[in-house]
Amino acid sequence: MQIGCHGLVWTGTYDAAGIRHAVQKSKEAGFDLIEFPLMDPFTFDVGAARAALDEFGMAATGSLGLDESTDVSSEDESAVRAGEALLERAVDVLAELGAAHLCGIIYSAMRKYMEPATPRGIANSQAVIGRIADRAAQAGIKVSVEVTNRYESNVLNTARQAREFVAGAGNGGVGVHLDTYHMNIEETDMFSPVLDTADQLSYVHIGESHRGYLGTGSVDFDSFFRALTRIGYDGPVVFESFSSAVVAPDLSRMLGIWRNLWSDSEELGAHANAFIRDKMTAMASMSHH
Ligand code: MN
């Protein structure tokens, strides 16, 4: 199992210097991998990222949220095509980085919708995600769809919806990505969604209820980590946190990051790394019971 950190814990500026800084700080905080924000994979500096990963001996994954102009769950064919082209580029970037996972809100725009998703829009999204998963599989990359809260998408708000979505996304190779921050808003508990998606779960985000320090909010992490251990989960477990202390202009606005929940990224990251590893170690002892 790899324990990782979302890149926006460290900087909102993803030029070459920002990329190297984020990789270095993730390494120093004790993480195994960094999740790069690939909101614009066409401008992402692949060479700088590859060099930083090699320099610090780190693995990488990539995530993104689509926007209105690239919404693959739209009924507008031009938006669907633009979204597919963006996701194809994201796969190619990750292949160049030797990354094994693409995840996030890659099946719709990341925004508050004012109406429910339509059957045709969902079918469009499933078709694109199925093709992207095929392309990714050829490069050894697993594609996972992130279940998010109702204010960030209208397509996948629960693990059961995601199970149904991936079953209809063609090749059976699409995985489910669960995030404790979103689960805490939408699910009935933190245990059963993991069991419900045991065969599809391929990516995990660890976030607190206010997206700040782990253990200071209302997320029932013990139940969640117990469930991961119960199903023998072996995929990435990635810490995700946002504060107005680090601003990525588009993403911070869309996620509603208005408050300063922490200012010291190094302390926050080291704490999260220890928190996740301690929980996994403790839960692994259940095999002796
Ligand atoms: Mn997340």
Confidence of residue 287 (pLDDT cuts 50, 70, 90): confident
Give percent of the chain above pLDDT 70.
100
pLDDT beyond 90 at 109: yes
Cα 64 to middle of ligand 1, angstroms: 10
Confidence of residue 248 (pLDDT cuts 50, 70, 90): confident
Backbone φ and ψ for 150, nearest 5 degrees, come out as -65, -20
pLDDT at 171: 76
Instruction: Say how far apart CA 132 and CA 152 lie, in whole Å.
Output: 22
Contact present, 201 and 147 (Cβ < 8 Å): no
Beta strand extents in 149-276 (DSSP E only): 175-179, 201-206, 237-239
Express each pLDDT in 152-168 by its tens digit. Answer: 999 999 999 999 999 99
Task: Specify the pTM.
Answer: 0.97
pLDDT at 1: 87
Tallying the residues shown for the chain, one arrives at 289
pLDDT beyond 90 at 128: yes
Express each pLDDT in 111-124 by its tens digit. Answer: 999 999 999 999 99
Q: Among 56-60, 183-187, 261-265, which stretch is predicted with the lowest mean pLDDT?
A: 261-265
Instruction: Say how far apart CA 210 and CA 208 lie, in whole Å.
Output: 5
Q: Can you say whether the dihedral through the CA atoms of 126, 132, 136, 142 is positive or negative?
A: negative
pLDDT at 249: 81
pLDDT beyond 90 at 247: no
Beta strand extents in the chain (DSSP E only): 3-6, 33-37, 59-66, 101-109, 142-146, 175-179, 201-206, 237-239
Cα 241 to middle of ligand 1, angstroms: 9
Cα 284 to middle of ligand 1, angstroms: 24
Q: Which CATH architecture has domain 3-288?
A: Alpha-Beta Barrel (3.20)
Express each pLDDT in 164-183 by its tens digit. Answer: 999 999 777 999 999 999 99
Identify the CA nearest to 64 among candidates 4, 124, 145.
145
Cα 183 to middle of ligand 1, angstroms: 10
Which residues have a Cβ under 8 Å from the Cβ of 76 and sit 6 or more positions away?
none
Backbone φ and ψ for 93, nearest 5 degrees, come out as -60, -45
pLDDT at 158: 98
Express each pLDDT in 53-81 by its tens digit. Answer: 999 999 999 999 999 999 999 999 999 99
pLDDT beyond 90 at 15: yes
How open is the CA angle 122-95-127, to the nearest 5 degrees?
Answer: 15
Q: Give residues whose Cβ lies within 5 Å of ion ligand 1.
A: 179, 205, 240
pLDDT at 129: 98
Strand partners, 175: 144
Average pLDDT, the chain: 96
Query: Which residues are marked as active site?
Result: 146, 240
Instruction: Say how far apart CA 228 and CA 226 lie, in whole Å.
Output: 6
Region 234-253: what's the mean pLDDT? Answer: 91
Cα 288 to middle of ligand 1, angstroms: 32
Cα 289 to middle of ligand 1, angstroms: 32
The radius of gyration computed from the CA coordinates of the chain, to the nearest angstrom, equals 18
pLDDT at 250: 81
Sequence ranges of the domains in the chain: 3-288
Which residues have a Cβ under 8 Å from the Cβ of 288 and sit 6 or more positions away?
none
Cα 179 to middle of ligand 1, angstroms: 5
Identify the CA nearest to 128 among candidates 167, 68, 178, 83.
83
Number of other CB atoms surrounding residue 13 within 10 Å: 14
Contact present, 54 and 27 (Cβ < 8 Å): no
Identify the CA nearest to 26 among candidates 43, 40, 8, 38.
8
Confidence of residue 191 (pLDDT cuts 50, 70, 90): very high
Cα 247 to middle of ligand 1, angstroms: 16
Strand partners, 206: 239
Cα 96 to middle of ligand 1, angstroms: 23
